[in-house]
Chains A and B, each alone.
Chain A
Amino acid sequence: MDISFQMVMSQVMLGLNNGVFYAILSLGLAVIFGLLNIVNFAHGALYMLGAYVALLGFTSLGPLLGMPDFHLNYWAALIVSPLVVGAFGIVVERTMLRRLYKFDHLYGLLLTFGLALIIQGVFTNFFNVSGDPYEAKPEILNGVVNLGFMMFPKYRLWVIVVSLLVCFGTWYVIERTKLGSYLRAGTENPELVKAFGVNVPLMITLTYGYGVALAAFAGVLAAPIYSVSPVMGSEMIITVFAVVVIGGMGSIMGSIVTGLLLGMVEGFTKVVYAPASSTVIFLIMVIVLLVKPAGLFGKES
């Protein structure tokens, strides 16, 4: 088979498109894990929830409010959906996760696993497992752009750009601002930060809210590309877990970079040997475990 430069580039770019989703989701997991010490198993389900908020906002919100002409458009959904899901996350943190901090971290994983089952189960009952199309993609993002070496769908380029902005924005806030320094200090020693008069419980709540809002944001971005289905999250979360194992959750930049790279590797595999593309991330995880058990950016001893 003749593998042309263009073919490789187009798959790598499509891979990068997946990679930004891995990056946003693993970034959210890392932020949550840093402060709450909980691996948020519900992250995939909340990503799915974010996509459904956008979908339902477009198709059903108007009729529900008695205004059949009202549709929540894409741009509004990009703001509203993370807010709704973030608020949901805040309620979950306040009512459930909060009770578990003093116990083994595994209970947090189990609780969020249960939540993921509930959310996925509810949507499986009301929606088609094979997925519904989200048809609110704005006019301006239709068509393709010429990248010089290839033609690339405008919408996917937008997704890549806006995701990178959000990822690096988050990195900047956490690593370079005063608010971020509180967060990092809270990760290291919450008791001491409390003693300095910082409202750590509030910080934890907002962190969880922000982490899951990121997942919802990714869900809205994904909605026009993939069809919106109840199982879109559970397929995603297992891959993202592998990404997180490869990168280690200790570093914000680490999880962003690992997500992007693995997306591109996955795209590249599609050209070289397509059947392996669904497992390549897991195989890389195996290699990383053998060579550098702590993960590429891990600080774990």
Chain B
Amino acid sequence: MNKYVWCALILLGLLAPFVVYPIFMMKLLCFALFASAFNLLLGYTGLLSFGHAAFFGGASYVTGYLVKNSGLTPELGVLGGTLFAALLGYIVGSLAIRRQGIYFAMVTLALAQIVYFVALKAPFTGGEDGLQGIPRGDLFGLINLGHVYHVGGSPLGLNLYYFVFVMFCLGFWVIHRTIHSPFGQVLKAIRENEPRAVSLGYKVDRFKLIAFVISASLAGMAGSLKSLVFQLASLTDVSWHTSGEVVLMTLLGGVGTVLGPLAGAFTVVTLQSELSSVGSWITVIIGSIFVICVLLFRRGFIGELGRLLKRSL
């Protein structure tokens, strides 16, 4: 994609909080990063993880605990959450890559369930309540992330928004660089034809594991940011519903496209906030979108658009 598109997107991101409710925008950015990290695995390595909520939710608990109970500054909290997700990703990844295809999905789902049980039972996670009232704190001990500006009469938490936006851009840049590096080319080779990649001499398992750890870390970063935005780390974040949601976002936007996960996250997050009045019917709607998407447009929005424009987006 050319640089004008990127500049336009960044400008859009910078101006968005003045137009859209900032909390909504931040939720969107967190889930967009989460879906993009997931897409690195599904779209570019061909691995379907059904347990990514473990990294997203696990990191959000760790960040919440570090900031709330250990009194760390938010950037250290996010760093801690991300490192935790990386470590967890290393463990889950090493186990899961021992099986292929459909089994890989089941193994990741089952391992994520262990993390769910820990979050439910461990003494430091708050059980059913989760961690509530996580403080936003002072970035580097200097900038108050909880500060609210009054622009034209409406309160805007711009400090937090721009912190989340910068972290999002950082994460997205890492994914972009990974995809377009020689390393990323090997990942695509594995996706297209694993036996051939093996016979070319690539240590496929090591590549898969590194991709898994990168994906898990960034999913964790998204979860860490989410816990600062909502001041909450809850069981929903580690449940299989969240793992399914991120699959849907990626699928809906377009697996293996750079912009797809952003479009998918935008659609799903918007649907959730617009349809919050229908209560648990939202599960039925999400399920129906899954079915329709799998049956009718497996390439997703951006994938289909890219096919029409005859270029990769």
Task: Kindly identify which residue among A117, A125, A241, A282 contacts B287, using a CB–CB cutoff of 8 Å.
Answer: A117
Name the residue of chain A whose CB is nearest to the CB of B114: A282
Q: Is A103 an interface residue (CB 8 A)?
A: yes
Q: A114-B287, A114-B290 are in contact. Are A241 and B279 (CB under 8 A)?
A: no
**Does A290 make an interface contact (CB < 8 A)?**
yes
Question: Does chain B have a CB within 8 A of A162?
Answer: no
User: Is the CB of A244 closer than 8 A to any CB of chain B?
Assistant: yes
* A300 adjacent to B288 (CB under 8 Å): no
Docked Cα-Cα span, A99 to B282, in Å, equals: 26
Check B263 for interface membership: any CB of A closer than 8 A.
Answer: no
- With a cutoff of 8 Å between Cβ atoms, the chain B residues found around residue A121 in the complex are 280-287
Contact across chains for B279 and A300 when beta carbons are under 8 A apart: no
At the interface, yes or no: A283 with Cβ under 8 Å from chain B?
A: yes
Annotate B265-304 by CB proximity to A: 1 below 8 A, 0 otherwise: 0000000000000011111111111110111001000000
- The answer to whether B106 and A118 touch across the interface, beta carbons within 8 angstroms, is no
Contact A110 B251 (CB under 8 A): yes
The answer to whether B106 touches A39 (Cβ under 8 A) is yes
Say yes or no for A269: interface residue by CB 8 A criterion.
no
Q: How far is the CA of A33 from the CA of B102 in the complex (A)?
A: 10
Q: Give Cα distance in the complex from A257 to B111, angstroms.
A: 22
Residue-wise, chain B 54-95 has the 8 Å CB interface mask toward A (1 for contact) of 000000000000000000000000000000000000000001
The number of residues on chain B lying at the interface, defined by a beta carbon within 8 Å of a beta carbon of chain A, is 39
Are A107 and B298 closer than 8 Å at their CB atoms? yes
Complex formed: what's the CA distance from A175 to B110 in Å?
30
- Residues of B close to A283: CB separation below 8 A: 114
User: Are B283 and A124 neighbours in the complex by a CB distance under 8 Å?
Assistant: yes
How many pairs, one residue from A and one from B, have CB atoms within 8 Å of each other in the complex?
116
Given A109-B48, A125-B280, A293-B99, A242:B110 Cβ within 8 A: yes
Decide yes or no: A117 and B280 within 8 Å by CB, A39-B102, A109-B105 being known contacts.
no
Classify the secondary structure of A's interface with B.
Answer: helix
- Tell me if A96 and B105 are in contact (CB < 8 A): no
B99, B284, B294 — most chain A CB neighbours (10 Å): B294
Q: Does chain B have a CB within 8 A of A275?
A: yes
Q: Are B95 and A113 in contact, CB atoms less than 8 angstroms apart?
A: no
- The docked-state distance in angstroms from the alpha carbon of A293 to that of B107 is 11
Chain B interface SS verdict (over half): helix
Residue B121 CB within 8 A of the other chain = yes
Instruction: Place the interface of chain A in its size category.
Output: 35 or more
| B283 touching A110, Cβ below 8 Å | no
A105 within 8 A of B: yes
Could you tell me if A238 and B95 are in contact, using CB atoms closer than 8 angstroms?
Answer: no
Assembly CA distance A244 to B285 (angstroms): 29
Which residues of chain A in 100-115 are interfacial with respect to chain B, using CB atoms and an 8 Å cutoff? 100, 103, 105-107, 109-111, 113-115
Contact of B284 among A99, A117, A289 (CB under 8 A): A117
Nearest opposing residue in chain B for A246, CB measure = B110
| A164 is an interface residue with CB less than 8 A from chain B | no
- Please tell me if the beta carbons of A275 and B105 are within 8 angstroms of each other in the complex: no
- Chain A residues within 8 Å of B95, by CB: 286, 289-290
Of chain A, the residue at the smallest CB distance from B247 is A110
- A98 CB to nearest B CB, Å: 10
CA of A113 to CA of B99, assembled, Å: 20
Q: Is the CB of B295 within 8 A of A106?
A: no
Chain B residue with Cβ nearest A285:
B110
Q: Is A116 positioned at the interface, with any CB of B under 8 Å from its CB? A: yes
B280 interface neighbour in A119, A124, A278, Cβ under 8 Å: A124
Confirm or deny: B103 has a beta carbon within 8 angstroms of a beta carbon on chain A. Answer: yes
* B117 contacts across to A, CB distance below 8 A: 278-279
B161 within 8 Å of A by Cβ? no
Q: Is B98 an interface residue (CB 8 A)?
A: yes
Assess the A117–B107 pair: CB atoms within 8 A. no
Please indicate the chain A residues that have their CB under 8 angstroms from the CB of B283 in the complex: 117-118, 120-121, 124
Residue of A nearest to B241 (CB): A117
Chain A 262-301 interface 0/1 with B at a Cβ cutoff of 8 Å (1 = within): 0000000000000100110011011001100110000010
- Residue A144 is within 8 A (CB to CB) of chain B in the complex: no
**CB-CB contacts below 8 Å: A172-204 with B:** none
**Quick check: is A12 within 8 A (CB to CB) of the other chain?**
no
Task: For B101, give its contact among A99, A105, A289 (CB under 8 Å).
Answer: A105
**B168: interface (CB < 8 Å):** no
CA distance A110 to B251 in the complex (A): 10
In the bound complex, do residue A275 and residue B99 qualify as a contact, i.e. CB atoms below 8 Å apart? no
| A234 on the B face (CB < 8 A) | yes
Beyond A109-B102, A110-B290, A111-B290, whether A285 also contacts B284 by CB under 8 A is no
Q: Does A161 make an interface contact (CB < 8 A)?
A: no
Q: Which residues of A line the B interface, CB within 8 A?
A: 33, 39, 96, 99-100, 103, 105-107, 109-111, 113-122, 124-125, 234, 238, 241-242, 244-245, 275, 278-279, 282-283, 285-286, 289-290, 293-294, 300
Q: Other than the known A110-B290, A282-B110, what 15 A-B pairs have Cβ atoms closer than 8 Å?
A: A106-B102, A107-B294, A113-B290, A114-B287, A114-B288, A114-B289, A118-B288, A120-B283, A120-B287, A121-B282, A125-B284, A238-B240, A241-B109, A289-B99, A293-B99
Interface CB pairs A-B, < 8 A, 19? A39-B102, A99-B295, A103-B298, A110-B251, A113-B290, A114-B287, A114-B288, A114-B291, A114-B293, A117-B283, A117-B290, A121-B285, A238-B109, A238-B110, A242-B113, A278-B117, A282-B114, A285-B110, A290-B95
Give me the 10 closest cross-chain CB pairs, A-B, nearest first. A114-B290, A117-B287, A121-B283, A121-B284, A118-B287, A293-B98, A114-B291, A242-B110, A241-B106, A111-B294
Interfacial residues, chain B to chain A (CB-CB below 8 A): 48, 95, 98-103, 105-107, 109-111, 113-114, 117, 121, 240, 244, 247, 251, 279-291, 293-295, 298
